[in-house]
Amino acid sequence: MATDQNAVLVLLEKRQLFPHLLSQKYPHVLSKILEAWESPEAIDACFQGLMFAEPRRKQGFPENVMTEIFALAKFHDSLYPRVASSPLDIWSHSLDISNSKSVLTDDVALKG
């Protein structure tokens, strides 16, 4: 697994997305992300847990570190796009809904 993690780090460096602050200040968090990188379920849970802190937890991450975490999540999504999103993603079905509305509108226009 360490080889896969190194490959991810090299890719991030090449794309100028290496999370330097996260690596320096929170290496255990970066390690957690890298361990979950190849598993859709694990990476979703990891990013959800990092980005949406429970109120009883600590203050969270500084803004510049959160920016790096968001960039990693976005980059991961660009590498591994999924048709079916997480059930926590409230926008995952918005395209389906908007398409079905336009079909209904077209049907009404044709009948009217």
Mean pLDDT (whole number) for 6-11: 85
Long-range Cβ contact pairs of 24-32 (< 8 A, separation 24 or more): 25/62, 25/65, 26/61, 26/65, 29/69, 31/5
Using one digit for the tens of pLDDT, what is the confidence trace for 47-69? 999 888 666 666 788 999 999 99
Identify the pLDDT of residue 94.
52
Does pLDDT of 75 surpass 50? yes
Categorize the per-residue pLDDT at 22 as very low, low, confident or very high, splitting at 50, 70 and 90: very high
Position 52, amino acid: F
* CA atoms within 13 Å, Cβ hemisphere of 57: 8
